[in-house]
Chain A
Amino acid sequence: MIPLLAALPLSFAFATALLLPLHRKNLAKYLFLTGAFVPWGVFLLGGEGSEIVGGWTRMGGIEVAVGVYSRWFILAELLLFSIAALYSVVYFRGKVKPFVLLLLIHTGLLGAFISRDLFNYYIYMEVVSVSTFSLVAFPGSSEAKKAAYKYLMLSMISSYFFVFAVGLLYLKTGYLNLYLMSQVVTQSKEVAAAIAIAFTSLLLKAGIFPLHSWLPDANSAAPTPVVILSGITVNVPLYGMLLLSTYLPLSVQFKAALTSIAFISMFAGVGMALLQRDAKRLLAYSTVSQMGYALIGIGTGNPLGAVYYSFAHSIIKGGLFLSVGSLSDARGSRRLDALSYRGDVLIAVSVIALSLAIGGVSPFVSALGKAEILQGLTWGRWLVYLAGVGTLAAFAKLNYWLSRGVGVRVGGVYRLLSIIPTLLVMGFGLYLYRAFQPFDAVTVGAGILTFALLRLSGLTDRGIGFELPVGRDVSINAALYALFLLLLLHVL
C-alpha cells in the first residue's frame, strides 16, 4: 500500500497532462483535486510499516516505509498540499500545466518522505526540485526567470554532489538501502567524506545560512500556491539529513559543526529578516532561521525534536505565505508599507496567531518542537531563547506594517483558507502539548521591545538592496558552496 502514496498522484499528473492535447481543459481541476486528495486515503488506511516495492527482497528491491519520523512529514505534506491545492484551483483557473507540475511536486514530496533508500530519495527530491523550478518561472516576469535560473543552477550543483556522495557510499558498503548500509558501514575516511559532501548539498537545498541565497529570491518571485508549499519542500533535504544521521555514523566534531552552523543560520536569518522591506523576503529569511532550529535537532542527535519542529514550521510558514501572499497579490506589491490587513478579520487573526506561533509561543504546536529541541541541547540554550526573541521582533515588524495603512479586498476562498493553518497549528498544539508556559509572555514582550528599539534607532527601515547580474550571483554562490564543502570536509 505504501508506494501508492507516490504512485497515485503521479498517475493523476499524467492523466491531467493528457487533457491538454485532448482539448478537455475544463476537467483539469477535478482530476487535479482527486490526485491531490487521494493519498489521504492511502495514508489513513495504510498505517505504519515498511514494504519492499514489487515483492522483492530487501537486498534487491527498493524499500519504502512510513515510520515514527516520516509520518509527521507525510501528515504535514498532506495538510499543506490540500490547502495549496484548494488555493491553486482558484489561482490557476483555466490552466492545465501548473496543475500537472503541482501534482508532480506532490508525488516527489510523498515519495521522498517514504523512501528508505538513498538513490530513490535522490530521485524524488529531484522530482520536487525540477517541478519547482518551472513553477517559480511560471509568472514569466524577468524577476521570476532570474530566481528560477539561480535556484536551478545552485540546486543542480548540489544535486550532482549529492549523487556523487551516494555513489561513494555505495562503493564502500555495496548497498543503497539505508538499513543494510548501516549494518555493514564502518568508520573510514571515504564514508566521512561522503557524509560531509551529502550534508553540504542538503544544507544548500534546505536553505541554511551561507548557502541560502536562492531561497528568498525563489520564495518572493514564485506564485503564491507554490510558495505555500515552500515550507514543506525545504523539509525534504531535512528528511535526508535525518536519514543520514540516523543510519550512518557521524563523528562528534561533525555534529558539533552542524550545531554551530545551525546557530549561525538562526541568527543570520533573523538578522536579515529584520532588515527586509519586502514582506515575502522577510518570511523567506525567517525560513532560513527556522531551518537552523530544525538543524539543531540533527546536530544534537535528537531527530524527534527536528521532526516536531519542522512539522510545526511547515504549517506555520505555509499559512503565513498564504495570508501575506494573498494580500500582496490583491495589492500588486510586496512592499511592507503597501500592504495591510485592516478590515479583514480572518487574515489579521491568522497572521497574528501564526506570528506568535513561529516564535514558539506555548499554546501552539511549535512550542512542542522548541521544547523537544531544547531537551537535546547541552549548551547554548539561551541562544535559542535569544533567537526566539529575534524571530518575534521580526514578526512584530511584519505585524506593525500590516496593521497600518488601508486594507485591500482579498478573494473569499483565499480568506477562508487562510484560517485553516491557524486552526491546525492551534489544534495540534492543544492535542500534543497541552502545557502553557507563562514565560512566553516575557519572550513576546522582549520581541516587541526589541523591534520598538530597532525602529527608534532607524535600523529596520533602511533596507538592504544590491543586485548582481544573475550569472555573477550564481558564480559567487557556487564558489561559496565549494568553500563550505571544503570547510565541512576539513571538519569531518
Chain B
Amino acid sequence: MGMTLVVKKTTTLVAPFLVTYGAYLALYGYASPGGGFQAGVILAVSAILLMTAYGPKQVKKHFPLGEVSLLEGFSGLFLTVLALAGLMFGAFFLNFLRPYLPGGTVVPFNVGVALKVAAAFILTFYLLSRWVDRD
C-alpha cells in the first residue's frame, strides 16, 4: 500500500503548503504572476502527490469522486453565471465589481477557474488510476 514512510511523511508535510500557495496564486493572481489555471494545477498537484504516496484508494476516501465532480460542475456553472451577471450591468463579461473589490470580477474568476481546473485534474487522475494495479 503506497510508498515508504519517508515519502508519505514528506508529502503529508508538503501538501498543505501547496494548497496555501495555490490559494495565494488564485486570490492574488490579478496583480501578480499567477492566475486561475496555475493555481488550479497546484491545488490538484497536492492531491496527486498524496495519491502517488498513499495510493489512489486512500485519497478517494477523503475526496470522493462524486464530491469532486460536484465541485467541478459548480465551479463551471459559477463562471458562466458570473459572466452572465455582467449583462445586468451593461455587457457580457463586464467587470462590474471593479469599484468594490481590487481586481473586480477577476478575483472570483480566478478562484472559479482554480477550483474547476483542480477538480478536472483530480478527476483525470482518478480515471487514470483505474489502470494502475498497485494498491
Contact = CB atoms under 8 A, between A and B. Distances in A.
A17 B92 contact: no
Interface in A392-437: none
A4 B69 CA distance: 25
Contact of A14 (B73, B94, B95): B73
Given A3-B93, A53-B93, A55-B91, A21 B80 contact: no
B80 A10 contact: yes
B95 A7 contact: no
B53 to A, nearest CB: 26
B93 A14 contact: no
B74 A55 contact: no
Interface string A219-243: 0000000000000000000000000
B33 interface: no
B90 interface: yes
Contacts of A18: 70, 73-74, 77
B84 A17 contact: no
Contacts of A51: 91
Given A21-B66, A21-B69, A53-B91, A14 B76 contact: yes
A21 B92 contact: no
B70 A55 contact: no
A17 B76 contact: yes
B80 A53 contact: no
B91 to A, nearest CB: 4
Interface residues of B, number: 21
A13 to B, nearest CB: 8
Contacts of A168: none
Interface string B68-91: 011011101100110110110011
Interface string A49-65: 00101110000000000
B65 to A, nearest CB: 8
B80 A11 contact: yes
B111 to A, nearest CB: 16
Contacts of A14: 73, 76-77, 80
Interface string B91-110: 11111000000000000000
Contacts of A346: none
A130 interface: no
Interface residues of A, number: 16
B81 A22 contact: no
Chain B interface, DSSP helix/strand/loop, else mixed: helix
Given A7-B83, A11-B80, A21 B94 contact: no
Identify which of A10, A22, A54 gathers the most chain B CB atoms within 10 Å of its CB.
Answer: A54
A22 B93 CA distance: 28
A15 B76 CA distance: 9
Contacts of A7: 80, 83-84, 92
Identify which of B67, B86, B91 gathers the most chain A CB atoms within 10 Å of its CB.
Answer: B91
A21 B75 CA distance: 14
A17 B73 contact: yes
A11 B84 contact: yes
A7 B72 CA distance: 17
A11 B69 contact: no
A55 B67 contact: no
Contacts of B84: 4, 7, 11
Given A10-B80, A11-B81, A11-B84, A21 B93 contact: no
A488 interface: no
A197 B67 CA distance: 44
Nearest to B86: A54
B80 A4 contact: no
B95 A54 contact: yes
Given A7-B84, A20-B69, A21-B66, A15 B77 contact: yes
A1 to B, nearest CB: 8
B70 A22 contact: yes
B51 to A, nearest CB: 20
A11 B78 CA distance: 9
Contacts of B90: 55
A108 B113 CA distance: 19
Nearest to A16: B73
Contacts of A55: 90-91, 94
Give the 7 A-B residue pairs with the shortest CB-CB distance, closest first. A18-B73, A11-B80, A55-B91, A14-B76, A54-B93, A21-B70, A14-B77
16 contacts: A3-B93, A4-B87, A4-B92, A7-B83, A7-B84, A14-B80, A17-B72, A17-B73, A18-B73, A18-B74, A20-B73, A21-B67, A21-B70, A51-B91, A54-B94, A55-B91
